[in-house]
Amino acid sequence: MEDINSNLESLYKKIAAAALRVHRNPQDIRLVAVSKRMPAHFVKTALACGQKIFGENYLQDAQKKIEEIGPGPEWHFIGHIQSNKAKNVVSLFDMIHTVDREKLARAINSHAGKIGKKTSVLVQVNVGKEEQKAGVLPEQTEELLKKLQQFDCLLVKGLMTMPPYRNNPEDVRPYFRALREIAEQYTPKGYFHQPDKVELSMGMSHDFEVAIEEGATLIRVGTAIFGPRPSLEKS
Ligand SMILES: *Cc1c(COP(=O)(O)O)cnc(C)c1O
């Protein structure tokens, strides 16, 4: 497992370098280690190396892992959520990156209320307007942000995106920039819980450096830490 250790170390260095290139404080960028489909002992290894935040996107797989690992990590949910599964997501996760519709927000809010929790959420925006992708369209983002204000148990911390895949990370830059501009446009309107600290969840293994240059505060990196994922099995 020396790989995970050295992968993390080289990643932390690249994160700091990208931040410094654009005169940002490297501490303002948090790494979400995406452990989806990876065994619990990989997470434990990364934890032992000082990595604190982990991202999962399959509820069943995550649930077993979270229970096995116990207290310690901060867990972020980064996958698609059916509204009827919101209950478990709320109780297991510290932040949900993928709120893209009112119905889901309502379900999260209701379960959070029942267990006396305030749940941190991000609004997922489909900046590339891709048919097959989740997320609210850029032009409908404000409407959704407005609706979320009615939910007392949601802390709307910022925005998240999964941009179109491009071989050259430079070609993804306009999409990252678009997400930042949407956040900048709506921050003064008071839609975000902490206007001086609006989160932008963007950037993955192959394009996180560009995302940091464009303002990412949370990057979601899997393969570059844990290696290639096993293929999807039916569960
Ligand atoms: C899997 C996944 C990632 C991580 O992707 P890598 O290319 O392995 O870094 C990031 N975000 C989301 C939403 C994912 O599903």
Domains of the chain, CATH where assigned: 2-230 (3.20.20.10)
Instruction: Read off the tokens for 98.
Output: 């993928």
Q: Choose which residue among 77, 81, 162, 204 to substitute to test ligand 1 binding: the one with the highest number of ligand atoms within 8 A of its C-beta.
A: 204
How far is 12 from 101, CA to CA, in rounded Å?
34
34 lines ligand 1 (CB under 6 A): yes
225 lines ligand 1 (CB under 6 A): no
Beta pairing class for 74-77 and 154-161: unpaired
163 lines ligand 1 (CB under 6 A): no
Q: Give the model's pLDDT for residue 231.
A: 79
Q: Give the model's pLDDT for residue 150.
A: 97
Binned at pLDDT 50, 70 and 90, residue 235 comes out as: very low
Q: Above pLDDT 90, what percent of the chain?
A: 96
Kindly report, residue by residue over 95-154, the tens digit of the pLDDT: 999 999 999 999 999 999 999 999 999 999 999 999 999 999 999 999 999 999 999 999
> Taking all residues of the chain, what is their mean pLDDT, rounded to a whole number?
96
DSSP string, 110-156: HHHHHTT--EEEEEEE-TT--TTS-SB-GGGHHHHHHHHTT-TTEEE
Which atom in ligand 1 lies closest to the alpha carbon of residue 206?
Answer: 7
203 lines ligand 1 (CB under 6 A): no
Kindly report, residue by residue over 79-92, the tens digit of the pLDDT: 999 999 999 999 99
Asked whether the predicted pLDDT for residue 23 surpasses 70, the reply is yes
202 lines ligand 1 (CB under 6 A): no
Task: Give residues with Cβ within 8 angstroms of 142, minimum separation 6.
Answer: 186, 189, 191
Between the CA of 181 and the centroid of ligand 1 the distance, in Å, is 23
221 lines ligand 1 (CB under 6 A): yes
Q: Above pLDDT 70, what percent of the chain?
A: 97
Kindly report, residue by residue over 186-224, the tens digit of the pLDDT: 999 999 999 999 999 999 999 999 999 999 999 999 999
